[in-house]
Amino acid sequence: MTTTPSTPAPSRPGRPPVVDLATWQAARDELLVQEKAHTRQGDALAAARRRLPMVEIDGTVAVVGPDGPTPFLDLFQGRDELVVYQHMWHDGAPHQGQCEGCTWTAWHLRDAVYLNARGVSFAILTVGAWDEVEPYVEFMGYTQPWYSVRGLDAPVGGDMGYLSVFLRDGDRVFLTYRTTGRGTEPTNPAFALLDRTPYGRRETWEDQPDGWPEAHHPGWFWRTDADGVAGWSETSRPAPQWTRPGATPVETLGRHDHHH
């Protein structure tokens, strides 16, 4: 019977140490204690969110969608709760020139079936003009409802890149929660899965062991060129776009006012 030493054996650079199963399980169990504490803290935060106050907004304000001007109240589709993602927009840019970070989020939220089954509606809002937004939504193959909020004030319009939650009480509408930045990460299951891999997101801010593969700027893999090389460039598209019918190699983002 072959045995493996319980102490870590030398490994190739950039690889975790190799141990036997029992040693691995002991380390895994130790980490599980921390993971459970993290889960319980997440439960406590969710409970605190449920106890936030709320602010009333004008539910009659009109957003613009496939049926023209639409009262914001209609986005609830008769349900009591509504979650929206507010998608950034670059005026006049072709599909490849739109925001890769917002694409990352919207692509993970293509379908709201389970939210709807729980009685929660979902929509994506953007400040783009509807005549530009509509062909983009068709190209991307999104099935969730999109609306233009051009010219409207926050929290329905204004700055984009937010995840916002609303509650309906009859014809009255209330904002209950809003977050941005890394607060939107729960919409992206790819992040959670990457955080469970040995190499993580391979981004410079992460705490990585010595010898791990090269790290890059945050979001480096959200865009790729026609050869699949990840990174931001004039010839790249948001990564999901390469799966869309008609996506072709590009030479420009189609606008000259963007500074990355």
List pLDDT tens digits, range 164-187.
999 999 999 999 999 999 999 999
Q: How far apart are CA 205 and CA 165, in angstroms?
A: 29
d(CA 219, CA 236): 13
**pLDDT tens, N- to C-terminus, the chain (260 residues):** 444 545 555 566 799 999 999 999 999 999 999 999 999 999 999 999 999 999 999 999 999 999 999 999 999 999 999 999 999 999 999 999 999 999 999 999 988 999 999 999 999 999 999 999 999 999 999 999 999 999 999 999 999 999 999 999 999 999 999 999 999 999 999 999 999 999 999 999 999 999 999 999 999 999 999 999 999 999 999 999 999 999 999 999 886 444 44
Tell me, what's the pLDDT at 259?
Answer: 44
Domain range list for the chain: 51-183
Amino acid at 105: T
* CA distances, 9 to each of 148, 154, 197, 208, 255 (Å): 58, 57, 20, 19, 53
What is the tens place of the pLDDT at every residue in 204-230?
999 999 999 999 999 999 999 999 999
Instruction: List helix spans (H) across 113-252.
Output: 113-117, 130-140, 189-194
Distance CA 184, CA 162 (A): 7
**CATH code that applies to domain 51-183:** 3.40.30.10
Task: Verify cis geometry, omega within 30 degrees of 0, for the bond prior to 249.
Answer: no
Q: What is the torsion angle, in degrees rounded to the nearest 10, for the CA atoms of residue 162, residue 59, residue 147 and residue 62?
A: -130
Gap between the terminal Cα atoms of the chain: 58
